Homo-oligomer: A and B are copies of this chain.
Amino acid sequence: VEEFPPSGSNGVTLRCRSRVKSSCPIQSKDYALPNSSWSQGMMDLYSRFLEMCKDGTWKRIPSYSNSVDHIPGKAFWESLKLMSEKERKDTRLFPRNMDTEGVGFEYAMFLNPSEKRMVCLFQPGPYLEGPSGFAHGGSTATIIDSTIGSCATFVAGRVMTANLSINYRNPIPLGSVVLVDSKVDQVEGRKVFLSCHVRSIDGQTLHAEATALFIRLDSTKSLQQQMSCQ
C-alpha cells in the first residue's frame, strides 16, 4: 500500500493548479469532511470512525473533485505532466460533480489496512432519485464501485473495474445514511476479488450486497490496452 496522501497533512493533498511545472502547489478541497447538509446520523457515524482512527486502526481517506488528485505518490506528479491544464479543469470525478452540498453524493471513506477493508458513510441527496423517494440503482452502483475500487487501490495499487454484480435487497431512502462496507477477499496475480454490503446505520436493513473483480493496472500500458486483453 502506497502512502496516501503523498504530501501535506490532515488529509489535505497539495496540488498545483496554476501551472503544471510551477513550484507553488495549492490545496485541493477535501470533500470527505462534514458540511451543513450532513444529518445527525451521518455526523455521529463520522465521529465514531474518526475516534477509531486515533490508534491507527482506521485511516480517514480524503476525497477530491478530480480523479487526478487521487493518484498517490510519484505517479500523481508524473501524471500532471501528461495532462493539459485544460483537460484537468474541465472534468470532474463523477460522484463529486455537484456544486451544491447535500443534493448529490455525500460520503466519507475510512480504510482499515490490516483487514483490507474500506467503509464508506453515504448520505444520498435528492438529486440521486430513481423510484420516488429512493436512490437510483445507478447511484447505489456508483457508491459501491467507488468504495470497492478505493479498497482495491489501497490494497493492490491502481485498478480498473472488470466485473460488478449487485443484489439490490431494500431500496435506500433519499436523505438516509447507510454504511458501505467492502473488503478484499482474494488477490490472484492481477485479479483482485472484493465483496461489499450496504446496510442501514443500525445494521438492521441490508440494502444491497455486491461482489466485484478488479484488474490491477500495469503503469507502462494504456487503460485501453489493458482492459481489452483481460
| A residues neighboring B (CB under 8 Å) | 66-68, 79, 83, 87, 90-95, 97-98, 103-104, 126-139, 141-146, 149, 160-171, 174, 223-224, 227-228, 230
Instruction: List the 6 closest pairs (A to B, CB-CB), nearest first.
Output: A138-B142, A94-B136, A141-B141, A165-B165, A97-B127, A137-B161
Nearest B residue to A148 by beta-carbon distance? B137
- Report B-chain residues with C-beta under 8 Å of the C-beta of A163: 165-168
Q: How far is the CA of A130 from the CA of B229 in the complex (A)?
A: 20
Contact of A138 among B66, B141, B168, B228 (CB under 8 A): B141
Bound-state Cα–Cα, A228 to B168, Å: 10
Q: Which residues of B contact A228 (CB under 8 A)?
A: 169-170
Q: For A161, list chain B residues within 8 Å (CB).
A: 137, 168
Please give me the residue from chain B that is nearest to A144 by CB atom: B138
Q: Which residue of B lies closest to A146 (CB)?
A: B138
A66 to B224 Cα, complex, angstroms: 35
Q: Which residues of B contact A174 (CB under 8 A)?
A: 91
Which residues of the partner chain B approach A127 to less than 8 Å between Cβ atoms? 91-92, 94, 97
> Is there an interface contact between A97 and B93, defined as CB atoms closer than 8 Å?
no
| Docked-complex contact A94 and B126, CB < 8 angstroms | no
Complex alpha-carbon distance, A227 and B131, angstroms: 12
